[in-house]
Amino acid sequence: MKKPSLFRNLLLSLLIPCAVLLVLEIIALAKGVRLFVNADSWKLFFRAVANVTLTTFALSINLDSGRFDFSLGSVSMLSATIAGTLSQQWQLGPWLTLAAAVCIAAGLGLIHGGVYVLTRIPPIIVSLGMALFYEGCAFAFTGGKGVSLVTRTDIIGFSQIGNYILVTAAAVALIVLLFDYTRFGANYRALVSGQKIAVETGIREVGNALGCYAVSGALMGVVGFIGMANTGSQQMALNFGSIGIMFTAFLPMFIGGWIGRYINRRIGIMLGAVSMALISLAYARFDTASSVQSIVSALLLVLFLIYLNNEFAILSRFRRKQEVKS
Partner 1 sequence: MGKQTWKERIPAFASVLGLLVLIAAYYIVGAVRDANVAYGLKAIVNQSVVVALVATGAVFIYTLGSFDISLGAATGVSALLGAMAYNATGSLVIMFLVCVGVAVVLGFINSSLASVFNLPIFVTTVAMMSVLSAFMLILIGWNGAGDTVKVKARDVRPLDNIPFKVFILVSYIALCWFIFTLLPTGREAKFIGGSPVCARLSGINEKKLGIIASLISAVGIGLGAFLTIIYAPTLTKDTASSIGMDVIIAIVFGGMPVSGGPRSRILSAVVGAFSMGFMTQIMSMLNLGSGYGQMIKAAIFLLVVFIALGSQRGKLLTR
Least distance (Å) between residue 15 CB and partner 1: 22
CA distance 283 to 192: 36
Of residues 243-262, those binding partner 1 (CB under 8 A): 243, 247, 250
CA distance 93 to 316: 57
Instruction: Give the burial class of 247: count Cβ atoms within 10 A of its Cβ; 0-12 exposed, 13-18 middle, 19 or more buried.
Output: middle
Residue 107 engages partner 1 in binding (rule: CB under 8 A):
no
Considering the complex, state which of residue 4 and residue 244 has its C-beta at the smaller distance from partner 1. 244
Considering the complex, state which of residue 140 and residue 186 has its C-beta at the smaller distance from partner 1. 140
Burial 90-102, CB ≥16 within 10 A → b, else e: eebebeebbebbb
Site string for partner 1, 262-291 (x = CB under 8 A): ---------------------------xxx
Residue type for position 285 = R
Q: Which of 90, 305, 317, 320 is close enough to bind partner 1 by CB under 8 A?
A: 305
Of residues 2-61, those binding partner 1 (CB under 8 A): none
Q: What's the CA angle centered on 173, arms 160 and 115, to 5 degrees?
A: 95
Alpha-helical segments (H) within 120-160? 123-142, 153-156
Residue 139 engages partner 1 in binding (rule: CB under 8 A):
yes
Binding site for partner 1 (CB under 8 A): 65-67, 115-117, 119-126, 128-130, 132-133, 135-141, 143-144, 195-196, 199, 205-206, 209, 238-240, 243, 247, 250, 289-295, 297-299, 301-302, 305-306, 309-310
